[in-house]
Chains A and B, each alone.
Chain A
Amino acid sequence: RKEVEQDPGPFNVPEGATVAFNCTYSNSASQSFFWYRQDCRKEPKLLMSVYSSGNEDGRFTAQLNRASQYISLLIRDSKLSDSATYLCVVSLSGGYQKVTFGTGTKLQVIP
């Protein structure tokens, strides 16, 4: 079983739609959780950290369910510029330790 699993997609959604991605992780000792965004042939960039209480940043909402070991990302009012691959990233501890990536979920927002 992979340490971090994501549905690779692609998710093709119309502009303005709401789309949600889920990610599951296998190691219950994981402490830190993130969503990264990666554009085609570019480097991953931090989209948002994921906190136990859930957090929101504009049109983006991230949630963590420790009991079920999954993380979600909700994007409301999708824009064309949201088209990218969204990477679920998990770390065993906070701080500077290595992070583990999922394979990513590809999102294509269609006009």
Chain B
Amino acid sequence: EAGVTQFPSHSVIEKGQTVTLRCDPISGHDNLYWYRRVMGKEIKFLLHFVKESKQDESGMPNNRFLAERTGGTYSTLKVQPAELEDSGVYFCASSQEPNTIYFGEGSWLTVV
């Protein structure tokens, strides 16, 4: 069974550009999460989807970040315009059972 997949695995963009990260959760998982880790810091929660609905978006840093999950399958996280401090690794995770979260390998974003 395929795990959580993320695309792109690595991205280097210039400040001010737009980047869209995609996450395909494990098939059938209703819960989808985005987390990120910036350099030297802990992994932090961004938001949680249940199917296509945003259950909790309390971790979204500002309005430059937009997450969608149309149709309740894959999700995208768009950063527009990107800033230097957005550099880090963005993890997507999915879950169908309580307390069992599976993470993708992450999308490494570098903003220069």
A-side residues, CB < 8 A to B, are: 2, 4, 32, 34, 41-46, 49, 87, 91, 94-104
Give A9 Cβ to nearest chain B Cβ, in Å.
14
Q: What is the size category of the interface that chain B forms with chain A?
A: 20 to 34
Complex interface: chain B residues within 8 A of A94 (CB): 98-99
CB pair B48–A99 under 8 Å, yes or no, is no
Complex interface: chain B residues within 8 A of A100 (CB): 45
Q: A2-B42, A91-B99, A98-B59 are in contact. List 5 more A-B contacts (CB 8 A).
A: A45-B103, A98-B45, A98-B56, A100-B45, A103-B42
CB pair A43–B56 under 8 Å, yes or no, is no
Q: Mind listing 10 A-B residue pairs with CB under 8 Å?
A: A4-B42, A32-B99, A43-B104, A44-B103, A87-B43, A96-B31, A96-B55, A98-B45, A101-B42, A101-B43
Complex interface: chain A residues within 8 A of B59 (CB): 98
Identity of the chain B residue whose Cβ is nearest the Cβ of A36 in the assembled complex: B103
